[in-house]
């Protein structure tokens, strides 16, 4: 992505959770680099959400956030079946908004119910322990924001 379009005022680090039946479950990267849903007692993976301005609105590039930087510059993308995983060299853009359709404003929202989708309208959906992008309503994901204004790492 073109760094001149990076909007650090909307870029942030945070954790993602799935809320189902009154329970909150962590979203993590498994050993095979897939995004998966874990039991509540497992700590979530922290992600970097880099916001880039495009002519048709903001898009996000999502990477694992670690002290040493993202591993092999891996970016969250999807395979042919829609399963979410991390790929080196990918630039998959995501649209993120609050579940009610309002814009996500990280500075004023330490935690928010969100919808994450592709430009084509496939929405993040939980399928047992797997995370997928599919047509439809999507699942109830929540982002817990740690820090706003995080530049590339």
Span 65-81, pLDDT tens digits: 986 566 667 899 999 99
Region 102-112 average pLDDT: 89
The C-alpha angle 90, 15, 86, rounded to 5 degrees, equals 20
| CATH number for the domain running over 3-148 | 2.80.10.50
The C-alpha atoms of residue 141 and residue 127 are separated, in whole angstroms, by 13
The C-alpha atoms of residue 76 and residue 7 are separated, in whole angstroms, by 19
The C-alpha atoms of residue 62 and residue 137 are separated, in whole angstroms, by 21
Q: Which of 26-40, 63-77, 80-94 has the lowest mean pLDDT?
A: 63-77
Write out pLDDT tens, residues 134-148: 999 899 999 999 999
The C-alpha atoms of residue 140 and residue 56 are separated, in whole angstroms, by 25
List Cβ neighbours of 101 (8 Å cut-off, separation of 6 or more). 115
Name the residue ranges covered by the structural domains of the chain: 3-148
């Amino acid at each position: 992505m073109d760094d001149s379009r990076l909007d650090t005022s909307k870029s942030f680090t945070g954790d993602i959770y799935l809320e189902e039946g009154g329970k909150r479950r962590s979203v993590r990267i498994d050993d095979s680099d897939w995004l998966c849903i874990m039991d509540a007692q497992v700590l979530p993976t922290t992600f970097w959400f880099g916001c880039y301005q495009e002519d048709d609105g903001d898009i996000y590039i999502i990477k694992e956030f670690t002290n040493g930087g993202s591993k092999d510059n891996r970016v969250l993308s999807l395979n042919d079946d829609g399963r979410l995983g991390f790929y080196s060299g990918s630039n998959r853009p995501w649209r993120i908004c609050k579940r009610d359709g309002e814009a996500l404003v990280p500075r004023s929202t330490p935690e928010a119910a969100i919808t994450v989708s592709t430009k084509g309208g496939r929405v993040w959906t939980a399928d047992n322990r797997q995370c997928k992008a599919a047509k439809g309503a999507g699942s109830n994901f929540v982002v817990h924001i740690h820090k706003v204004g995080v530049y590339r790492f």
